Amino acid sequence: MFYRIAFVSVVLATLTSLKCFSQTDTKTRIWGEWKTWGDQGNGTYVNPVLPGDYSDIDCIRVGNDYYAVSSTFQYSPGFIILHSKDLVNWKILGHVVNDISTISPEMNWDRMNRYGRGVWAGAIRYHNNKFWVYFGDPDMGYFMSSASRAEGPWEPLHQVMAEKGWDDCCPFWDDDGQGYFIGTNFADGYKIHLFKMTADGKTLIRESDKVIYRSKGSEANKLYKINGTYYHFFSEVRDGGRAIMMERSQNIWGPYEGPRKLSHVQREFNEPNQGGIIQSAKGDWYFLTHHGSGGDWSGRIVSLLPVFWMEGWPIIGKPGPDKIGQMVWSGKNPANTGKILTPQTDDDFKSSMLSPQWEWNYQPRREKWSLTERLGWLRLHAFKPLENDNLLKAGNTLTQRSYRTVSNEAVIRLDISNMLDGQRAGLAHFSTPEYSAIGVTCKGNSKTLEVTFKSKITKGPLITGNNLWLKSIWGLDGRSQYFYSLDGKIYTPLGEPCELMWGDYRGDRLAIYNYNNNADKGSVDIDYVRYKYSK
């Protein structure tokens, strides 16, 4: 009898979901070999809905709008925000953290030693007519900010807890307005703690602390209240991988029933496991999730899975005879707006601000880049890296996500007339600890084209003109071929195909780099970036 009310209250949602499920594609697929993705233009969608690295995704609905956040680690600006009208078509809205050195000075351009740290998994919520975000840094603790509009401006970052060893947090406000906070202390055996918060959401009431769960690798926390029942969502390590789990209670402090496995591990599909459960404006339920196992060059990409309520539990994906969910590859679009959107990539640098897809590797040196010194161009002034000829230690490297689609082509046009001795500049596929790049090296008055991959350098021709076009093409296999052009029309390949890489919890990124091993001198101008990927 304890959960009969909750069960009855979701019967209609279950029937609606089953109707939606009848139109889903559950055929066996091979990971990474999709020919299409996202909105199909006919009222259906195909997973993934975002074939790029949007790790630790979380999502909410406010009216008819959906907002998602994703971890960004050491990249700046940090904690990316996306917007959608249907959970399938997404655009980049902006970021929460403009200066990630406020998390730690170690994330500034003059230190750059926090790869894989910074903005870890967090959550977005809407309460009291404001958006609230919370996230953690494994060394520095938990942080939060709020804003009246998701695109900002966001309030200055506030540190909620200054303590090492915590991750994967989420706020929750109950019907009476009381705020709560849940997070994992991975340094203490992955204990999941629940706290009350002060009314402003900026302080944890430490004496309220209660451990509500602990298991191997238990994290990815979310708290929900659905039809009067509290649901604690998390993932843990089971059966050789990450499984989606949940426990529930009639009291937020417990005791909690469960845990219940909501979806199988599915390593063959890179373990969909971390994300947000959400009810659409039409009343259907979904789970927006990343595919979370590491090692994939494309990073932790995003799928939208149906949710089916069974006995008061939200089963994720196709329920099997064991009432545990499996991967679903396609379904009916939750809203079918008729407008296909994809995340931004191109930039002609005519705006006074960088387009929102761009994120610097670490906090940039502000006086060393400009959109105004030469209108319509991005100017990058070169300065010495922390280690010579090491792109991982070179400040002001500008990046954006690359995508795993059938065909990808990225082109940048550079003016190299102001390059000076010791300077290197070009286009890269950026990862850690390995990366590849095509660019110009300036020695004395000579400028030479070269491709670098895993410490191997392939020399190209001397460049005597001022204009240079650099291009990379790749496909589903994650192998990039570099090209160059002196007129923007005829392109010549240089070097062997380079493997795109995973590292420090991130997939491959496109990057524009510029540094000088000898001195803080020289510059390059970038006219445009054009990155096209197939739908």
pLDDT digits (tens, 9 = 90+) for 107-159: 999 999 999 999 999 999 999 999 999 999 999 999 999 999 999 999 999 99
- Residue 467: pLDDT band by 50, 70, 90 thresholds? very high
- CA angle, 447 as apex, 446 and 453 as ends, to 5°? 135
Q: Say whether both 526 and 384 belong to one domain.
A: yes
pLDDT of residue 7: 35
CATH of the domain at 441: 2.60.120.200
What share of the chain has pLDDT > 90, as a percent?
A: 93
pLDDT for the residue 18: 47
pLDDT computed for residue 6 by the predictor:
39
Q: Where are the beta strands (DSSP E) in 367-416?
A: 369-370, 378-381, 398-401, 408-415
Q: Residue 26 has what pLDDT?
A: 54
- Residue range 246-250: average pLDDT? 98
Query: Is 56 noted as a catalytic residue in this protein?
Result: yes
User: Tell me: the pLDDT tens digits for 193-215?
Assistant: 999 999 999 999 999 999 999 99
Q: Are residues 242 and 383 in the same domain?
A: no
Kindly state whether residues 402 and 320 are assigned to the same domain: no
Q: What is the pLDDT of residues 441-465, one digit of tens each?
A: 999 999 999 999 998 999 999 999 9
Confidence band of 336 (pLDDT split at 50, 70, 90)? confident
Would residue 262 count as lying in a domain?
A: yes
pLDDT, tens digit (0-9, with 9 covering 90-100), for 415-438: 999 999 999 999 999 999 999 999
Catalytic residue among 167, 219, 296, 508: 219
Q: Are residues 216 and 318 in the same domain?
A: yes
**The residue to which tokens 């843990």 are assigned:** 236
Asked whether residue 6 is assigned to any structural domain, the reply reads: no
pLDDT at 337: 86
Residues 317 and 245 in one domain: yes
Let me know whether 241 and 135 are in one domain.
yes
Task: Establish if 166 belongs to a structural domain.
Answer: yes
- pTM, to two decimals: 0.95
Catalytic residue among 39, 53, 56, 236: 56
Bigger pLDDT: 454 vs 27: 454
What pLDDT does 11 receive? Answer: 40
Please write the tens of the pLDDT for every residue from 155-181. Answer: 999 999 999 999 999 999 999 999 999
* Residue range 280-305, pLDDT digits in tens: 999 999 999 999 988 899 999 999 99
Structure tokens at 154: 């966001």
Is the predicted pLDDT of residue 10 greater than 80, yes or no?
no
Residues 6+ apart with CB under 8 A from 348: 376, 527, 528
Strands (E), 198-329: 204-214, 219-226, 229-238, 241-249, 257-263, 272-279, 285-291, 302-310, 313-316, 318-319, 325-326
Model confidence band, residue 25 (pLDDT cutoffs 50, 70, 90): low
Here the CATH number for the domain that contains residue 59 is 2.115.10.20
Query: For residue 5, what pLDDT is reported?
Result: 34
364 with 257, same domain: the answer is: no
Q: Same domain, yes or no, for 382 and 466?
A: yes
Same domain, 214 and 327: yes
Per-residue pLDDT at 176: 97
pLDDT tens, position by position, 31-74: 999 999 999 999 999 999 999 999 999 999 999 999 999 999 99
Mean pLDDT of the 221-229 span: 98
Q: Is the pLDDT of residue 491 over 70?
A: yes
Same domain for 81 and 175, yes or no, is yes
Structural domains of the chain, count: 2
Domain residues for 375? 359-533
CA dihedral 70→74→78→83, nearest 10 degrees, is: -30
For the chain, what is the mean pLDDT? 94
- Do 381 and 303 lie in a common domain? no
